[in-house]
Amino acid sequence: MIEVLVVDDEDSVRKALSQTLVIEGFEVITAPNGKEALACIRADWSGVVITDINMPVMDGMALMREIRLIDPDLPIIMLTGHGDVSIAVEAMRNGAYDFLEKPFPTEQLLETVQRAYEKRLLTLENRRLRQEVEVQSRPGPRIIGNHLDVKKLRDTLNYIKDTPADVLIHGETGCGKELVARYLHSHSKRSDKAFVAINCGAIPESLIESELFGHEAGAFTGAGKKRVGKFQHANGGTLFLDEIESMPMVLQIKMLRVLEERKVEPLGGNQQIPLDIRVVAATKVDLKELSDKGEFRLDLYYRLNVVQVHIPPLRDRREDIPVLFEHFVWASANRYGTEVQALTSAQRQQLLAHDWPGNVRELRNLAECFVLLGGERAFDRLLRTGELGSGITLAEQVSRYEETLIREILSRHKGKLKDAQEEMGLGRKTLYEKMKKYGLDKQMFKDDGEELRD
């Protein structure tokens, strides 16, 4: 629904404009002056502003100048009397979208608002595309995939990348939790500072406190010299805490205090060191369930869980497997200086049939074997060890392959069934039945903001 902000100091004018716009299906917000109208404006707002020129408190010209500081591309339609036409023309020179001279026909108002709204949507879409191109073209880690959950993951990370909020990443082993943390860091304003990763489950309990917080010389037996902890080392940047569920309970209390106060005190020291830091924690288990069992501090869980992102397992986004495999193959070939073999149809089916308990890490391992040993030997090796395709019937392999192909084609055609039908050579009824079988809906594949029509 199109949102319109109507700004006029005359109550009768606001009501008349609102009624006209609401009848035509617009959503209307009103304000009696420019000062109150500014409270409704934000840079990503997708609406249109209609404002009178002559108003007390803040007139239309002053309002326009303030709006353009927030978003110079926001469409502003000026309302003017006969004597103010020259002012309205000046307003257009300074960035107003259009002006309407009172009294104006209803059709002219509606047509102008519709055109302004279409321009606004185009502006916002272009911004989104530019941002996406900029993000994907930057050096550093990339999150590859077209599955809906992966797109949402990228959108969330790009939205929060420059906020100071701590992040909790949840995903199975091998899903790429550290990659997601590095992506968040490298695409943020902190990218020129340190990214420090520590695996809480890989450090002995007796050493982890010193590793995180540091210590002064003589703080304990064996502490011959001062040591800077991971928190201080990551100051200004990002600290990644993997397997946070493995952190000892006694240390969780100190961790909570550091996160709340943004200060760290090394062991044996008396001075607290201020921190400008983002903490990204990762876990493969449900921390809330652990908290309910008394195996993880509930207050620390809530402190870490400011923003939570979930990485879907590879088996739940099978349409991404081929493109991920191709990416890993090319990366390995470049690293080892070898040529890339073509993937056979049978090998592709094996990729899609496997459940990938090791997730992306397992897929990357296969890609390296594929490059180093050759396609046939790599797949045969994994088949002989029972790591690929074990316990899966031929019918299940065919079904999984069919589902993945249908997903790929629907995604390529953005959910437009007629185009997908033609490529697959299927009748409409047959396609609907297969989509129902695999729990697919055309809305899953459309672009954001695009309405699907067959």
Q: Which two tokens stand for residue 452?
A: 């699907």
Backbone angles phi, psi at 10, to 5 degrees: -90, 120
Note whether 360 and 314 are within 8 A (CB): yes
| C-alpha–C-alpha distance, residues 148 and 182, integer Å | 21
Q: What is the pLDDT of residues 128-180, one digit of tens each?
A: 756 655 555 555 678 888 888 998 999 999 989 998 889 999 999 999 999 99
Mean pLDDT of 41-55: 88
Type of residue found at 116: A
| C-alpha–C-alpha distance, residues 403 and 410, integer Å | 11
| C-alpha–C-alpha distance, residues 410 and 442, integer Å | 7
| C-alpha–C-alpha distance, residues 442 and 428, integer Å | 13
Please report the pLDDT score of residue 452 as a whole number.
32
Q: Which two tokens stand for residue 354?
A: 């496997």
Please report the pLDDT score of residue 280 as a whole number.
96
On the question of pLDDT at 434 being above 60, the answer is: yes
| β-strands 263-264, 278-283 pairing | unpaired
Note whether 42 and 74 are within 8 A (CB): no
On the question of pLDDT at 446 being above 80, the answer is: no
> Would you place residue 112 in the very low, low, confident or very high pLDDT band (cuts 50, 70, 90)?
very high
Mean pLDDT of the chain: 84
Determine the 3-state secondary structure of 238 from DSSP. Answer: strand
Note whether 242 and 203 are within 8 A (CB): no
Mean pLDDT of 98-123: 89
| C-alpha–C-alpha distance, residues 178 and 193, integer Å | 17
> Would you place residue 338 in the very low, low, confident or very high pLDDT band (cuts 50, 70, 90)?
confident
Burial of 281 (0-12, 13-18, 19+ CB in 10 A): buried
Partners of 3 in the β-ladder: 27
Determine the 3-state secondary structure of 29 from DSSP. Answer: strand
- Alpha-helix runs per DSSP H in 274-337: 287-292, 298-304, 321-336
Q: What is the pLDDT of residues 191-203, one digit of tens each?
A: 999 999 999 888 8
On the question of pLDDT at 387 being above 70, the answer is: no
pTM of this structure: 0.58
- In the block, tokens 């020259």 appear at 86
Note whether 320 and 146 are within 8 A (CB): yes
| C-alpha–C-alpha distance, residues 9 and 52, integer Å | 8
Partners of 267 in the β-ladder: 215
Burial of 336 (0-12, 13-18, 19+ CB in 10 A): exposed
Please report the pLDDT score of residue 207 as a whole number.
83
| C-alpha–C-alpha distance, residues 339 and 124, integer Å | 42
- In the block, tokens 């589902």 appear at 403
| C-alpha–C-alpha distance, residues 252 and 250, integer Å | 6
Task: Give the chain's domains with CATH numbers.
Answer: 3-129 (3.40.50.2300), 148-312 (3.40.50.300), 316-445 (1.10.8.60)
Note whether 74 and 44 are within 8 A (CB): no
Please report the pLDDT score of residue 331 as a whole number.
85
Q: What is the pLDDT of residues 257-273, one digit of tens each?
A: 999 999 998 888 888 89
Determine the 3-state secondary structure of 12 from DSSP. Answer: helix
Note whether 271 and 225 are within 8 A (CB): no
| C-alpha–C-alpha distance, residues 290 and 296, integer Å | 5
DSSP letter for each residue of 39-107: TT--TT---EEEEESS-SSS-HHHHHHHHHHH-TT--EEEEE-GGGHHHHHHHHHTT--EEEESS--HH
DSSP letter for each residue of 174-234: TS-HHHHHHHHHHTSTTTTS-EEEEETTSS-HHHHHHHHHEE-TTSSTT--S-EE-HHHHT
Type of residue found at 160: I
Note whether 163 and 278 are within 8 A (CB): no
Q: Which two tokens stand for residue 42?
A: 């934000």
**Sheet with 48-52, side-by-side order of all strands:** 27-31, 3-7, 48-52, 76-80, 98-101
Burial of 60 (0-12, 13-18, 19+ CB in 10 A): buried
Share of the chain above pLDDT 90, in %: 37
With DSSP H G I counted as helix, E B as strand and the rest as coil, what are the percentages for the chain, rounded to 5? Answer: 50, 15, 35
